[in-house]
Amino acid sequence: MGLRPSSTRPGQHPPAAVPGRIVILGAGPCGLACADQLTRLGHHDFLLLEAAEVPGGLASSVVDAAGFTWDLGGHVVFSHFGEFDRLLDELFAADELLHHDRSSFVRYSDRWVPYPFQRHLHHLPPAESATCLRELLTLRQGTGTPGRAPVDFATWLAGMYGRTLVDRFFAPYNTKVWATRLEDMGSTWVAERVAPVDIEQVLAAFAGTAVPDCWGPNSTFAFPARGGTGEIWRRLAARIGSDRLHTRSQAIAIDPVGRTVALADGRLVRYDQLVATGPLNQLAAMTAACPESLRAAAQGLRHTTVAMVGLGYRTPTSDERSWLYFPQPDVPFYRATNFGKYAPANVPGADTGAFSAWMTETSIAPGKALDEQALVHSCDQALRRHGLVPERAPLVSAHIEVIPYAYPVPTLGRDEVLAQVVPWFEKQGVYPRGRFGTWRYEIGNMDHAVKMGIDIAHRLAAGTPEELFTHATPMPATRVDCPS
């Protein structure tokens, strides 16, 4: 993988003056990248603390008792940043990364509609496709709701795609993903996260003259040949070393006045600058000096909880599709990933070709109790019912991981809360970064996290302004339609 043009800074030299001891909370992609970059810059007075037993955070992987490898949700490796490309080049030989063309579909009634759904209306039943097309043309002529970003997500969707597309796909699918009323979500985050409709392309598809649609940066993606996504972060953690990376080290209290972090095991860790990559609401709750008004505001931030159910079968991996979306209410998961296709080593006995693996993701509504056994059964039956698994294929493994903090929900009022809370922490020498430190879904992918980690390392060790994250302006968005 070659280094793409990027904002990578030349001259990786130690700064003339260093800012003292830097402590990093969380050894996910952001924290690991920050620690690695500090080492590159010659700043060795840092400590990386991780509450879990292994590094990787939300991007870690597990191996179940039957030998199947599972990620904590659907991750694929693609990049907007040369720094992330460089990191992969350093950590993996060319033959240690497998490369795929995305093949993704939406299950709609009795058919599979290519992704993005809104660009393939010719696959719908004739009456429905005609209605959707007519509404899109009406909106384009300016007689419907304008397609600019209004206050809430529901209104934005109706103004961009029309009522029928919203009712048939966008509303049921997004309600499953976010476990949140769409009217309660903002729309400033959508930018390039939701695929726009090119009317000429849609019409060309009806006429049979459309070119293949390769929308989005993940139209091609890579995946480690062994170890799942977590292999990236295991290798990076090994490069940092155990002298500066401490696992099983959970922060429970922060004193920004005394510049200390109290750990669950009784240790008190001193710092001069603190990078916090965990959830912003938890950071506010454990910081005694945080004003009550800001703490209360942070507690109002919403997030999804996702149950990843990995199902391994004694039947060969034969489906060539990457991942599939399910808006139907009778299917518990919103996405199913063909994990055996990503890498043969994700299933046991890869050389025999005897097994397949499907990784499903189900959002759990706030306050709803989870019956794990019932969810496993429901996911298994849905995969069989929709033809992804043969009816008689033996289920040989069922592994479930509940991810309490999966995705930050871009609710109405989110930006106003962040504009108050994040600057307050930075004034105390505490820098919230990463998917949940910034609480911005629009910069919540692995490459964004790495970029934020690298940027904050440069800022603290060399005084260089950050390039991706700034709490004062809207975040640049990425072109991914669904959580990744």
Q: What is the overall mean pLDDT for the chain? A: 88
What is the percent of the chain where pLDDT is above 90? 73
Give the residue-averaged pLDDT of 384-398.
96
Does 228 score more than 60 pLDDT? yes
Helix (H, G, I), strand (E, B) or coil at 400: strand
Kindly state the average pLDDT of the residues 125-135: 92
The mean pLDDT of 371-383, rounded to a whole number, is: 97
d(CA 191, CA 210): 24
DSSP per residue over 16-45, as a string?
SS--S-EEEE--SHHHHHHHHHHHHTT---
Residue with tokens 């808006």: 327
Predicted confidence band of residue 200 (pLDDT cuts 50, 70, 90): confident
Helix, strand, coil percentages for the chain (3-state, nearest 5): 35, 20, 45
Instruction: Tell me the pLDDT band of 192, cut-offs 50, 70 and 90.
Output: low
CA gap 338, 344 in Å, rounded: 11
pLDDT greater at residue 80 or residue 449: 449
pLDDT at 203: 80
Q: Euclidean distance between the first and final Cα of the chain, in Å? A: 21
At 6 the pLDDT is 44
pLDDT for res 213: 62
**CA 330 – CA 382 distance, rounded (Å):** 8
Q: 235 near 37, Cβ under 8 Å?
A: no
CB 263 within 8 A of CB 25: no
Mean pLDDT within 3-29:
63
Torsion over CA: 28, 31, 37, 42 (sign): negative
3-class DSSP state of 77 = strand
> Which H or E run contains 484?
none
75: pLDDT confidence band, cut at 50, 70 and 90?
A: confident
**DSSP state for residue 245 in the 8-state scheme:** E
Between residues 18 and 232, the one the model is more confident about: 232
3-state secondary structure of 161: helix
pLDDT at 79: 74
- Tell me the longest C-alpha to C-alpha distance in the chain: 69
For the segment 276-305, the average pLDDT, to the nearest whole number, is 97
Nearest Cα residue to 23 out of 295, 278, 317: 278
Rg over CA atoms, the chain: 23
Q: Which pLDDT score is estimated for 18?
A: 46
From edge to edge, which strands make up the β-sheet containing 251-255?
251-255, 260-263, 268-270
351 SS3 class = coil
Cis amide prior to 390 (ω within 30 degrees): no
pLDDT at 2: 36
Q: What does DSSP assign to residue 333?
A: -
Mean pLDDT across 319-330? 94
Q: Is the pLDDT of residue 377 over 50?
A: yes
Q: Calculate what percentage of the chain has a pLDDT beyond 70.
A: 88
| pLDDT of 212 over the 80 cut | no
Strand partners, 224: 97
Least Cα distance to 254 among 301, 300, 296, 289 occurs for 289
Tell me the pLDDT band of 211, cut-offs 50, 70 and 90. low
Mean pLDDT, range 69-86, rounded to an integer = 88
Show the DSSP H helices in 287-361 as ranges.
Answer: 292-299, 339-342
Among 149-163, 266-280, 300-314, where is mean pLDDT lowest? 149-163
On the question of pLDDT at 27 being above 70, the answer is yes
| Domains defined for the chain, CATH in brackets | 22-60+81-100+224-301+411-462 (3.50.50.60), 117-212 (1.10.3110), 303-403 (3.90.660.20)
pTM of the full predicted structure?
0.89
Whether cis (ω within 30° of 0) applies to the bond prior to 5 is no
- Taking 90 as the threshold, does the pLDDT of residue 146 lie above it? no
Provide the pLDDT for residue 135: 92
d(CA 300, CA 414): 9
Is the model's pLDDT at 125 over the cut of 80? yes
Question: Per mean pLDDT, which of 91-100, 159-168, 271-280 is the most reliable?
Answer: 271-280
Looking at the chain, how many residues does it have? 484
144: confidence class by pLDDT, cuts 50, 70, 90:
very low
> What is the mean predicted confidence (pLDDT) over 184-206?
77
Which of the two residues, 429 and 482, has the higher pLDDT score? 429
pLDDT beyond 80 at 41 = yes
Q: Tens digit of pLDDT for each residue in 330-370?
A: 999 999 999 999 999 999 987 788 999 999 999 998 888 99
210 pLDDT above the threshold of 90: no
**Is it the case that residue 34 has pLDDT exceeding 90?**
yes
What pLDDT shows up at residue 473?
42
Check if the beta carbon of residue 437 is closer than 8 Å to that of residue 472. no
Q: Are 379 and 311 in contact (CB under 8 A)?
A: yes
The pLDDT value given to residue 219? 67
Using alpha carbons only, what angle is made at residue 26 by residues 70 and 76, rounded to the nearest 5 degrees? 35
**Measured distance CA(159)–CA(149) in Å, rounded:** 9
- CA distances 130 to 93, 135, 202, Å, are 50, 9, 11
